[in-house]
Amino acid sequence: MKKSEVIKKSQEFDRMIEHCKMKKNKYALIFYEPKQQEDAKFGISVPKKCGKAHLRNFLKRRTREILSFYKKNYPNSLNCIIIIRKTCILSSYSEMKENIIKLLLEIEKEQRNEE
């Protein structure tokens, strides 16, 4: 992911978590809003209860890879904050990928219906 496509500021995270819509499954929570700029932005968070730093970084790398696949293959019109859940630790990459992309596609479909 490019630096321009990443949400890093904690104020931005807090604002989206408090004021934006949310969709969840057993693998992730996704807070989303329609994008304001040209590029959609993503923020990834893995809570400390998921494990030590090396495990959290591993889950973030997996999630970034899933997002790059998603951006190449599907149109995206959302800014998202993705919070990974503890169940991702025991799941395989393909299972995690399938469920997170399914959740993102549900959100996209919901957004198109609202417009």
User: How far is 11 from 65, CA to CA, in rounded Å?
Assistant: 25
User: How far is 67 from 10, CA to CA, in rounded Å?
Assistant: 20
Per-residue pLDDT at 115: 67
Asked whether 50 and 91 are in contact (CB, 8 A), the reply is no
Q: State the CB neighbour count (10 A cutoff) for residue 99.
A: 18
Asked whether 67 and 42 are in contact (CB, 8 A), the reply is yes
User: How far is 47 from 56, CA to CA, in rounded Å?
Assistant: 8
What percent of the chain lies above the pLDDT cut of 90?
Answer: 43
Q: Which residues contact 110 (CB under 8 A, 6 or more apart)?
A: 23
Q: pLDDT confidence of 75, banded at 50, 70, 90?
A: confident
- Can you give the CATH number for the domain in which 61 is found? 3.30.230.10
Q: State the CB neighbour count (10 A cutoff) for residue 9.
A: 9
Per-residue pLDDT at 1: 63
**Domain count of the chain?**
1
User: How far is 94 from 114, CA to CA, in rounded Å?
Assistant: 30
- Tell me the pLDDT of the chain averaged across its residues: 88
Domain span at 62: 3-114
Q: Which residue has the higher pLDDT, 77 or 45?
A: 45
Q: pLDDT confidence of 100, banded at 50, 70, 90?
A: very high
Per-residue pLDDT at 3: 67
Per-residue pLDDT at 101: 92
Mean pLDDT to the nearest integer, 88-112: 90
Min mean pLDDT across 4-13, 77-86, 98-107 is at 4-13
Per-residue pLDDT at 94: 94
